[in-house]
Amino acid sequence: MGIVFQYDKRVGITYAYENKSFWDKGKKQSRSKRELIGRVNPETGEIVPTAGRRKKGGAGQKDEHQDYKMLYEELQKKYSAIESLNDALQRENKRLKEKAGHV
């Protein structure tokens, strides 16, 4: 195991990863996996832990219940609009059938 530093030039941040090596029996080759430890502070050089993208409960994590509530309310509005349009089309269809029957 070792620590690997990788510089992301798009945002100008250096990240620190823990490198874990293992032997792949099927391919008969050495493989490695990296796990994010954190960002490297450019002034002090110390590693500041971050939550990472895939880990839950990070600082930038949105409240999932709020997202579901907002999605539910949006879907309710769309359903209501579709239901109103459907009712109007059925009334118009009925009116046209009655008119065609009287001609």
Residue 44 · residue 67 · CB < 8 Å: no
**β-pair partners for 5:** 16
Q: What is the pTM of this model?
A: 0.47
Residue 40 · residue 52 · CB < 8 Å: no
- Summarize pLDDT for 37-86 with one digit per residue, the tens: 999 998 998 999 987 676 555 555 556 667 888 888 889 999 999 999 99
**pLDDT value, residue 62:** 55
